[in-house]
């Protein structure tokens, strides 16, 4: 059955296949509500216990087919670190939303002394950056065989497993090398990289023998890629990942074209042979003629950014420096937020620490990123204060000032509805430095004395230390 | 004969053969079908001699099955208008050359099934007054920060800028409140210092900007400046008409700025159509820094471009990105632990990636600052715009799997 576009599936169609008993076991009031949330991919079929009964087997199969993403979801790893890649419904995120954030793997190779290798793995595993309340980090480890020695590879794979529980990608063109790695790691469900047109029979055999997902590789050759997929599907191997080749620098045009062709074909062209997750290898920036490691890491980050925007479901990276990883992890996180949901926090009054009646009063925008940044700065500076969150339509302070969503009148309104006047004895408001132009009008509109705070909330601590309590006007 | 007919014809024969022989072997037989549907009556194949049922394991082909990929070419009913920036002497200005932006008739850098109509352009920033800037951002310009003309010259001569943006921040009533006449003099000095097309930026105050743009438009009559920007605020402040008329009268382009809202963008454009041809309008849909909402900028640009290509004439304008905004992200400039490197690395990368994401979403012209970020975006533009596409060394594609790699940065 040809898969249909996500936007063409109606809740009614789904509803007809559900038990229609309105038992509410899924937590929804009735089957129609559940159907709607299924179509929106906010809930999964597993949330409906009755569907597990044998009498619904046929309906369940039909529902699974109806709701299956045109890009297959492939599971790598096991346990609490397992990750799912692919499972995409749309080409552009604004059409629906992207599911299963691109997994980012750090590469290690089997030529390194095992303690060095383990140190690198532990560093990658422990890399973490707190971004608006979430910890951004690495999702997998790619073990490369540069020695071509099965024993060395096996030792490396074992050392990596001792050092972390992350899912593994085992990389070598040599089936004998991969076999030795798989023998050690098959219970971790590693991803095998890669079957190509020279080794495909042995690689397919390994995927079946060890029950592991398999990457098919055909650099800049989509016919070759489809041919491998078609053959493996005939072999009964369905957990496949596509590697159309990553060519950094001048080759990026071809790289991006291949990625776009695969994704367009799968989603808009109903091409079942290209409906699999895409593996990008920004690490290739380190394998070219450029030798300077800083330049390589810079190019790797740029390549990663482009591939994230162009549908990569898994990235293999070499650079572990924070400066090159950070933009990649940020962009990955951002692209996979749900564009259907507003990123505003609720307007109103927030209290930090133990503010008394002389505590500073600050105001900011209700854009989630703005709010969480200000919140984390207030907390890390240990400030006791009140923060008025104004309704700026979910825009940041700077955009809201420019677009008049944050105005003197808006400030006055936010102050009034927050009830802040009853909580403090003074009448001094600190506005964001980026809203400095509003200070005069805001003073007039609120009747409060207005101080212009720092442009960046990281400066709030020092600012208040110096300026609070404020002297006479 | 298609597969269905073939099976239909052979079916009875096969059954007859099976009945007499119990089993058949086909040699040197191959069949290529798109879809094969066999309808067999239940019980037609009783197990021969009570043997085991056929294994459920599929027969594994021992040759790769062919599956050619045939690229498809998509055409769109709409096309982005072209806007010409800068006028040469022949056209009544004084620029060495003009630049054409826009013209796209397909999504940017997606299927690469046709040459890019006009290469995306990078315009380098000049600020007419000292505003707080991260050290890493201002370092390359330290010597010219008090002289906009020199700054522009540095941008063009040393960094190869093909366009320059003069931000007249001194006109901000909250900064220096410089007069429109002073501002026009600054623009004039820059026009004399360099011969690339200019973008002229105001301070964001709808009344003051109108006065400044009116003065600048008259002073630089015929130069085809891009006035950055006009807003719906100006409509509210009743100053939009002044600027639009001045642009129309003196032959300049207008940058229509809106905050991540396509309906606003369309409304502003509709208002502008009353005063000047749509070929003189560029849109700024707002660029937010990576980590601070870039995904909203990215998706609004993808949506705008898609709608325009599908035929929405009110969105068929080239777009601009103020990618220097990337430096608003604290991760671009603040001191961080050693693994995060210094802002001289992080900042340019942040600016480059902010711009790159919007390049892939279809943006036509970028306002940028840091030479390293500009270099990276320029290399990217050159790589993506080459036509025919650069060849690649397939044989080396998987070198990253087996080669020792450069050290870890």
CATH number for A386: 3.40.50.11600
Task: Measure Cα distances from B137 to A262, B326, B327, B349 in Å.
Answer: 39, 11, 8, 12
When pLDDT is averaged across residues B212-222 and rounded to a whole number, the result is 98
Q: Which residue has the higher pLDDT, B213 or A9?
A: B213
| Residue B12 pLDDT level (bands cut at 50, 70, 90) | low
Q: Is the domain of A213 the same as that of A303?
A: yes
User: What is the C-alpha end-to-end distance of chain B, expressed in Å?
Assistant: 62
- Strand intervals (E) in B239-341: 253-257, 281-284, 320-322
Q: Is the domain of A329 the same as that of A211?
A: yes
Q: Which of A43, A67, A91 is the last residue of a domain?
A: A67
Q: What is the CATH number of the domain that holds A29?
A: 1.10.15.40
Domain limits, chain B? 84-385
Check residue B56 and give its pLDDT.
55
Contact status of B344 with chain A (Cβ, < 8 Å): no
Check residue A6 and give its pLDDT.
64
Does A340 reside within a domain? Answer: no
Order of strands across the sheet that contains A279-280 = A240-243, A214-217, A191-195, A168-171, A140-144, A103-109, A314-317, A279-280
Q: What's chain B's average pLDDT?
A: 89
Nearest chain A residue to B338, by CA: A322
In whole angstroms, what is the distance from residue A187 CA to residue B215 CA? 74
B291 and A404 within 8 Å at the Cβ level: the answer is no
CA distance A245 to chain B (A): 6
Q: From the list A219, A287, A323, which residue is nearest B394 (CB)?
A: A219
Contact status of B294 with chain A (Cβ, < 8 Å): yes
- β-strands A449-452, A428-431: how paired? parallel
pLDDT tens for residues B66-87?
A: 999 999 888 999 999 999 999 9
Q: What is the CATH number of the domain that holds A189?
A: 3.20.20.20
Q: Is the domain of A381 the same as that of A430?
A: yes
Q: Is the domain of A308 the same as that of A352?
A: no
Contact status of B386 with chain A (Cβ, < 8 Å): yes
A395 and B259 within 8 Å at the Cβ level: the answer is yes
Q: Is the domain of A47 the same as that of A79?
A: no
Q: Is the domain of A122 the same as that of A61?
A: no
3 state SS of B124: strand
Chain B, 92 to 131: residues with Cβ < 8 Å from chain A are 109-112
Q: Which of A42, A67, A92 is the last residue of a domain?
A: A67
Q: Considering Cα of B402, then B404, then B408, then B409, what sign does the dihedral take? A: negative
Probe site for chain A from B300, B381, B405, B407 (most A CB atoms < 10 A): B405
Task: Measure Cα distances from A74 to A40, A194, A276 in Å.
Answer: 20, 15, 8
| Residue B179 pLDDT level (bands cut at 50, 70, 90) | very high
**CB pairs A-B closer than 8 Å:** 278
Check residue B57 and give its pLDDT.
55
What ipTM was estimated for this complex? 0.86
Q: Is the domain of A178 the same as that of A217?
A: yes
Check residue A395 and give its pLDDT.
81
Q: Is the domain of A326 the same as that of A463?
A: no
In whole angstroms, what is the distance from residue A72 CA to residue A87 CA? 5
A223 and B299 within 8 Å at the Cβ level: the answer is no
Does A412 reside within a domain? Answer: yes
Does A1 reside within a domain? Answer: no
Domain interval for residue A360: 348-467
Check residue B51 and give its pLDDT.
43
B397 and A456 within 8 Å at the Cβ level: the answer is no
Check residue B249 and give its pLDDT.
98
Q: Is the domain of A84 the same as that of A229?
A: yes
Q: Is the domain of A265 the same as that of A205?
A: yes
Looking from the CA of A259 toward its CB, the CA atoms found within 13 Å total 29
Asked which of A254-258, B23-27, B373-377 is least confident by mean pLDDT, the reply is B23-27
Q: Are A430 and A363 in contact (CB under 8 A)?
A: yes
Does the domain at B84-385 match CATH 3.20.20.20? Answer given as yes
Chain B, 7 to 46: residues with Cβ < 8 Å from chain A are none
Q: From the list A234, A318, A404, which residue is nearest B60 (CB)?
A: A234
When pLDDT is averaged across residues B283-296 and rounded to a whole number, the result is 93
Q: Is the domain of A62 the same as that of A78?
A: no
Contact status of B71 with chain A (Cβ, < 8 Å): yes
Q: Is the domain of A327 the same as that of A436?
A: no
Contacts of A264 in chain B (CB under 8 A): 110-111
Q: From the list B60, B290, B298, which residue is nearest A235 (CB)?
A: B60
pLDDT in tens, chain A (473 residues): 345 566 678 899 999 999 999 999 999 999 999 999 888 888 889 889 999 999 999 999 999 888 999 999 999 999 999 999 999 999 999 998 899 999 999 999 999 999 999 999 999 999 999 887 789 999 999 999 999 999 999 999 999 999 999 999 999 999 999 999 999 998 999 999 999 999 999 999 999 999 999 999 999 999 999 999 999 999 999 999 999 999 999 999 999 999 999 999 999 888 999 999 999 999 999 998 888 999 999 999 999 999 999 999 999 999 999 999 999 999 999 999 988 765 678 899 999 999 999 999 999 999 887 888 899 889 889 999 999 999 998 888 887 887 778 999 999 999 999 999 999 999 999 999 999 989 999 999 999 999 999 988 989 999 999 999 998 87
- Within 8 A by CB and 6+ apart from A4, the residues are none
CA distance A319 to chain B (A): 6
Q: How many residues does chain B have?
A: 409
Order of strands across the sheet that contains A361-365 = A348-352, A385-390, A361-365, A428-431, A449-452
Does A341 reside within a domain? Answer: no
Contact status of B57 with chain A (Cβ, < 8 Å): yes
Split into its structural domains, chain A has a count of 3
Task: Measure Cα distances from A442 to A415, A423, A430, A467 in Å.
Answer: 11, 20, 11, 19
Closest by CA to A246, choosing from A205, A224, A217, is A217
Does A403 reside within a domain? Answer: yes
In the block, residue with structure tokens 């209290």: A351
Contacts of A145 in chain B (CB under 8 A): 401-402
């Amino acid at each position: 059955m040809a898969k249909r576009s996500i936007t063409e599936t109606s809740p009614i169609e789904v509803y007809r296949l559900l038990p229609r008993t309105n038992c509410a076991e899924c937590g929804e009031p009735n089957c129609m509500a559940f159907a709607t949330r299924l179509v929106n991919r906010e809930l999964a079929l597993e949330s409906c216990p009755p569907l597990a009964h044998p009498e619904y087997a046929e309906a369940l199969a039909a529902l699974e087919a109806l709701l299956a993403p045109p890009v297959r979801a492939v599971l790598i790893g096991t346990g609490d670190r397992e990750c799912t890649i692919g499972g995409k419904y749309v080409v552009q995120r604004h059409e629906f939303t992207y599911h299963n954030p691109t997994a980012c793997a750090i590469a290690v190779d089997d030529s390194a002394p095992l303690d060095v290798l383990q140190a690198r793995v532990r560093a990658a595993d422990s890399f973490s950056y707190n971004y608006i309340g979430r910890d951004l980090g690495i999702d997998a480890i790619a073990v490369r065989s540069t020695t071509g020695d099965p024993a060395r590879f096996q030792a490396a794979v074992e050392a990596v497993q001792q050092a972390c529980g992350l899912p593994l990608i085992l990389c070598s063109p040599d089936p004998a090398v991969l076999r030795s790695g798989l023998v050690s790691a098959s219970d971790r469900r590693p991803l095998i990289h890669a079957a190509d047109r020279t080794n495909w029979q042995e690689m397919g055999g390994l995927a079946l023998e060890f029950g592991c997902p398999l990457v098919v590789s055909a650099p800049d050759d989509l016919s070759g890629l489809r041919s491998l997929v078609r053959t493996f599907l005939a072999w009964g191997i369905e957990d496949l990942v596509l590697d159309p080749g990553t060519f950094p620098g001048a080759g990026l045009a071809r790289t991006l074209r291949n990625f776009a062709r695969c994704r367009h074909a799968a989603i808009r062209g109903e091409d079942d042979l290209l409906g699999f997750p895409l593996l990008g290898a920004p690490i290739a920036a380190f394998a070219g003629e450029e030798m300077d490691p800083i330049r390589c890491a810079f190019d790797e980050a740029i390549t990663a950014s482009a591939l994230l925007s162009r549908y990569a479901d898994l990235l293999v990276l070499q650079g572990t420096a924070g400066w090159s990883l950070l933009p990649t992890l940020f962009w990955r996180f951002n692209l996979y937020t749900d564009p259907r949901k507003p990123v505003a926090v609720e307007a109103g009054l927030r209290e930090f620490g133990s503010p008394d009646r002389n505590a500073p009063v600050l105001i900011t925008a209700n854009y989630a990123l703005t709010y969480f940044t200000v919140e984390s700065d207030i907390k890390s500076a240990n400030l006791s204060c009140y923060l008025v969150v104004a309704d700026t339509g979910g825009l940041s302070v700077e955009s809201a000032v420019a677009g008049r969503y944050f105005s003197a009148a808006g400030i006055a309104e936010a102050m009034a509805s927050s009830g802040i006047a009853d909580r403090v004895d003074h009448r001094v408001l600190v506005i964001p430095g980026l809203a400095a132009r509003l200070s005069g009008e805001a003073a007039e509109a609120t009747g409060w004395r207005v101080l212009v705070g720092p442009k960046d909330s990281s400066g709030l601590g020092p600012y208040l230390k110096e300026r609070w309590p404020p002297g006479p006007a | 004969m298609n597969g269905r007919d073939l099976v239909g014809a052979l079916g009875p024969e096969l059954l007859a053969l099976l009945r007499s022989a119990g089993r058949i072997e086909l040699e040197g037989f191959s069949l290529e079908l798109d879809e094969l549907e066999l309808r067999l009556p239940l019980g037609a194949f009783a197990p021969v001699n009570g043997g085991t049922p056929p294994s459920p394991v599929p027969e594994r082909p021992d040759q790769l099955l062919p599956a050619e990929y045939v690229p498809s070419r998509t055409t769109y009913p709409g096309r982005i208008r072209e806007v010409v920036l800068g006028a040469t002497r022949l056209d009544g200005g004084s620029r060495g050359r003009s630049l054409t932006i826009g013209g796209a008739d397909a999504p940017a850098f997606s299927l690469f099934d046709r040459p890019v109509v006009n290469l995306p352009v990078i315009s380098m920033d000049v600020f007419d007054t000292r505003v707080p800037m991260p050290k890493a951002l201002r370092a390359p310009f330290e010597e010219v920060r008090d002289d906009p003309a020199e700054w522009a010259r540095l941008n063009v001569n040393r960094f190869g800028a093909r366009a320059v943006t003069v931000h007249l921040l001194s006109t901000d009533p909250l900064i220096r409140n410089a007069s429109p006449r002073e501002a026009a003099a600054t623009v004039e000095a820059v026009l004399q210092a360099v011969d690339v097309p200019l973008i002229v930026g105001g301070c964001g105050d709808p009344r003051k900007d109108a006065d400044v743009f009116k003065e600048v438009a008259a002073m630089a009559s015929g130069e085809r400046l891009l006035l950055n920007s006009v807003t719906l605020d100006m409509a509210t402040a009743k100053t939009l008409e002044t600027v639009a008329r001045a642009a129309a009268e003196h032959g300049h382009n207008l940058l229509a700025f809106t905050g991540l809202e396509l309906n606003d963008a369309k409304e502003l454009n509709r208002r502008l159509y009353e005063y000047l041809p749509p070929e003189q309008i560029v849109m700024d849909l707002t660029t937010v820094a990576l980590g601070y909402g870039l995904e909203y900028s990215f998706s609004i640009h993808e949506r705008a471009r898609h709608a325009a290509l599908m035929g929405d004439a009110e969105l068929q304008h080239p777009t601009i990105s103020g990618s220097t905004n990337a430096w608003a992200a604290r991760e671009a400039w603040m001191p961080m632990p050693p693994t995060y490197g210094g802002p001289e690395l992080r900042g340019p990368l942040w600016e480059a990636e902010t711009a790159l994401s919007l390049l892939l979403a279809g943006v036509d012209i970028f306002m940028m600052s840091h030479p390293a970020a500009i270099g990276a975006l320029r290399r990217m533009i050159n790589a993506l715009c080459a036509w025919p596409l650069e060849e690649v060394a397939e044989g080396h594609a998987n070198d990253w799997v087996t080669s020792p790699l450069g050290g870890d940065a």
